[in-house]
Chain A
Amino acid sequence: MTAVLEISGLRKTYRSRKGVRKALDGFDMVVEAGQVHGFLGPNGSGKTTTLRTLLGLIKPNDGRMAILGREVPRLLPEVAGQVGAIVESPQFFGNFTAETTLSLLADAGGVNPHRVPAVLELVGLRDRSKERVKTYSLGMKQRLAVASALLKEPKLLILDEPANGLDPGGIREMRTLMRTLSESGMTVLLSSHILGEIQLICDSVTIIAAGRRVTSGSVSSVLATHASATVKVRLEPGVDLAGAAAVLRAAGAAVTLEKDHFTVGNASNPAQITKLLAEKQIYVAELTPVSADLEDVFLELTGTAPVDGANRQVDQVAATTTQGGWGQ
């Protein structure tokens, strides 16, 4: 596959009187052609800085970036016509109508003005296109932002939180739109906090934390690599669950009792469970791995899982969970 977007060793440092803050600390990312690529990270992790840097709005301190094989920001004007983007919340001049806003952008970018009604239709704003943008809801502004990004018929579409402010129907429409665009050959880079959406839409993901890439690859491979070590254990009916749990706890297992089963959270070797219980004449009826979803992987890798009684601060990242567990 051809890489549509390549970033390597990207660094951006902000200096202020309060000190130096590394927004990006050697960040890498590759997006292959025709994919919908999810770009995930907690607040303040460097997602928007990465996108702004890529689009020439922020100057990096170091690193290499290329879009469609052209080095940016040096050759950005050459590829800008093939890149549609919205960065952060949609921002438009409130006193212009949606139609005027897009028509001015089409003029500025040398795009055929006939595209304007087509993209307004595509994002569902056709009937409200002659109203001032300041009368729009956040979701409608978001649709307009997507329309502006699609106006150029880009090869690469960069969307920062496109579902922000959309109603459930709008989120579903956006998902369908992403899929349709991807099927038509467009590459989509999608930054979002709605991890369920990312898991549904995206072919691949990159997760960023504290300005660095913590993982990347296809969604399935990321989930597989960071599969949960938790297993669900169900015993034969009538067997004392608490007794069985005590046996495993005595051996160092992290057991959580449920109504009719229990889970072992650090079961890196599930065979140990059956062995220990069989030695006590307790037989396992069901032993299944609890599959991790993207949210679990995200929280684990970025160290942003909530901790009871603690108020996590924006830049605060917990120490990476150590690999391995009980039973090895």
Chain B
Amino acid sequence: MSLYKAETRRLVKRRFTRFFVLLTVLVLGLVAAGVAYSNEKVTPASLQAAQARADSSFAEDTKSAERDRADCATNPSRYGGDCDNLWTPSKDDYQAANYLTSQFDFRDSFPAMLITLAALLALVAFVIGASFVGAEWNSGGMMNLLLWRPQRVRVLSTKLAALLVSLTGLTVVVGAAWTGLFWLIANLRGTTERMTSGVWQSIGLMGLRGLALVLVAGAIGFAVASIGRHTAAALGAAIGVIVVFQFGLAIVLELARARFYEAYLLPAWFVAWMFKSYEVYDTYGPCEYSATDGCTPASFTITWQLSGSVVAGLTIIIVGAAMWTMRKRDIT
């Protein structure tokens, strides 16, 4: 317990951790401010103003259409020779809703905000996790610690536990604040209508999947930096994965006209995890005939369970490798 306490203190006291958490809060604040600024609550007055703008546009466009029709009668070639088919504005095309500033609908829009939060926190968790152990290896702090607690796997797993528990705390607190902030924005600049218990449950489950994503990112960053014994090892690996396995692989697979090529790329698995499923289409394969839909490309559904199992397996392998190298390799 004393080691766990010391490692939690070490993590929280690090300037790098504090700086990144502060930066995250700042970025999240900017996102929330942007959303608040670009939305507006619908009131009878704003509805009336929008209706006035719609009516004005309709009147202007009707006049313009009449002018064009008259012009067409004298010079039909300018209008393709067919004056009967010139477009005539219809009142139905000028709805007040189209002239309203969008309002923040909590039920429809908050899931996207939750995914933004999860993605940002996952990135921060990866960097903090990598730095937490990488800087220790690099500065010699790990060796110092092992002189005090010569139980390598225990030391590394306690460090990882301290990281994951701290990340859980951070995610829960920031997640709660994020939800509260957008609830406030929805009240002031939008609507909180149609929020049933089922919707709250769905948001809660999405939040839990987001938390899992943050923890996995933190654990992978930590493990890769520990294997490489340097923070840069994890950051380099992350850049390598993005460049090689995302951009590079995506281009190669497209050129090779690979079937279900999206299934080889990380974003599909990320979206499947957060949105519960993701449909991958076989755009380069033979189509599937259907009497109702005709010839449609074959598809493959990545479920959140499948995505979760694959990512969990990968995480166990990487963390296991970090523990194995910790146990086996000399510390020089």
Interface residues of A (CB under 8 A from B): 52, 55-59, 73, 76-77, 80, 83, 85, 87, 91-96, 100, 104-105, 107-110, 148, 152
CA distance A104 to B139 in the complex (A): 15
Shortest distance from the beta carbon of A89 to any chain B beta carbon, whole Å: 8
Across the interface, which residues of A come within 8 angstroms of B5, CB to CB? Answer: 107
Residue from A80, A92, A105 in contact with B150 in the complex, judged by beta carbons closer than 8 Å: A80
Tell me whether B7 is interfacial, beta carbon within 8 Å: yes
Query: Can you list 10 pairs linking A and B with CB atoms under 8 Å apart?
Result: A56-B150, A57-B330, A57-B331, A57-B332, A58-B332, A77-B149, A83-B147, A100-B13, A104-B9, A148-B144
Across the interface, which residues of B come within 8 angstroms of A58, CB to CB? Answer: 330-332
Asked if residues B139 and A108 are in contact (CB atoms below 8 Å), the reply is no
Asked if residues A91 and B150 are in contact (CB atoms below 8 Å), the reply is no
List residues of B (310-332) whose CB comes within 8 Å of A's CBs.
330-332
Residue from B6, B136, B143, B332 in contact with A107 in the complex, judged by beta carbons closer than 8 Å: B6
Asked if residues B15 and A91 are in contact (CB atoms below 8 Å), the reply is no
Residue from A57, A77, A104 in contact with B143 in the complex, judged by beta carbons closer than 8 Å: A57
CA distance A85 to B5 in the complex (A): 23
Which of B15, B140, B147, B151 gathers the greatest number of chain A CB atoms within 10 Å? B147
CA distance A134 to B143 in the complex (A): 18
Asked if residues A104 and B6 are in contact (CB atoms below 8 Å), the reply is yes
Asked if residues B139 and A93 are in contact (CB atoms below 8 Å), the reply is yes
Known A-B contacts A58-B331, A91-B140, A108-B7; A76 and B150 likewise in contact (beta carbons under 8 Å): yes
Tell me whether B146 is interfacial, beta carbon within 8 Å: yes
Across the interface, which residues of B come within 8 angstroms of A95, CB to CB? Answer: 14-15
Residue from B2, B3, B139, B332 in contact with A91 in the complex, judged by beta carbons closer than 8 Å: B139
Across the interface, which residues of A come within 8 angstroms of B136, CB to CB? Answer: 93
Asked if residues B330 and A93 are in contact (CB atoms below 8 Å), the reply is no
Residue from B2, B7, B14, B15 in contact with A109 in the complex, judged by beta carbons closer than 8 Å: B2
Asked if residues B150 and A77 are in contact (CB atoms below 8 Å), the reply is yes
Residue of A nearest to B329 (CB): A59
Asked if residues A108 and B6 are in contact (CB atoms below 8 Å), the reply is yes
Residue of B nearest to A105 (CB): B148
Residue from A52, A76, A93, A109 in contact with B331 in the complex, judged by beta carbons closer than 8 Å: A52
Asked if residues A107 and B144 are in contact (CB atoms below 8 Å), the reply is no
Tell me whether B161 is interfacial, beta carbon within 8 Å: no
CA distance A109 to B7 in the complex (A): 11
Asked if residues B147 and A91 are in contact (CB atoms below 8 Å), the reply is no
Residue of B nearest to A158 (CB): B147
Asked if residues B3 and A108 are in contact (CB atoms below 8 Å), the reply is yes
List residues of B (1-29) whose CB comes within 8 Å of A's CBs.
2-3, 5-7, 9-10, 13-15
List residues of B (131-146) whose CB comes within 8 Å of A's CBs.
135-136, 139-141, 143-146
CA distance A34 to B144 in the complex (A): 25
Shortest distance from the beta carbon of A295 to any chain B beta carbon, whole Å: 29
Known A-B contacts A108-B2, A109-B2; A92 and B139 likewise in contact (beta carbons under 8 Å): yes
Residue of B nearest to A55 (CB): B147
| Apart from A83-B147, A107-B6, 10 more pairs, CB < 8 Å | A91-B141, A92-B140, A93-B136, A93-B139, A95-B14, A107-B2, A107-B9, A108-B6, A108-B148, A109-B2
Asked if residues A108 and B145 are in contact (CB atoms below 8 Å), the reply is yes
Asked if residues B149 and A109 are in contact (CB atoms below 8 Å), the reply is yes
Asked if residues B148 and A109 are in contact (CB atoms below 8 Å), the reply is yes
Q: Mark B113-136, 1 if CB is under 8 A from A, else 0.
A: 000000000000000000000011
Shortest distance from the beta carbon of A146 to any chain B beta carbon, whole Å: 13
Asked if residues B150 and A55 are in contact (CB atoms below 8 Å), the reply is yes
Residue of B nearest to A14 (CB): B330
Residue from B2, B10, B14, B151 in contact with A77 in the complex, judged by beta carbons closer than 8 Å: B151
Across the interface, which residues of A come within 8 angstroms of B141, CB to CB? Answer: 91-93
Residue of B nearest to A108 (CB): B6
6 residue pairs, one from A and one from B, having the closest CB atoms = A91-B140, A107-B6, A108-B6, A57-B331, A56-B150, A109-B148
Q: Mark B144-166, 1 if CB is under 8 A from A, else 0.
A: 11111111000000000000000
Shortest distance from the beta carbon of B158 to any chain A beta carbon, whole Å: 9
Asked if residues A73 and B7 are in contact (CB atoms below 8 Å), the reply is no
Asked if residues B147 and A92 are in contact (CB atoms below 8 Å), the reply is no
Q: Mark B259-294, 1 if CB is under 8 A from A, else 0.
A: 000000000000000000000000000000000000
CA distance A152 to B331 in the complex (A): 22
Known A-B contacts A76-B150, A77-B151, A80-B148; A52 and B332 likewise in contact (beta carbons under 8 Å): yes
Residue of A nearest to B2 (CB): A110
Across the interface, which residues of A come within 8 angstroms of B149, CB to CB? Answer: 77, 80, 108-109
CA distance A107 to B10 in the complex (A): 10
Residue of A nearest to B140 (CB): A91
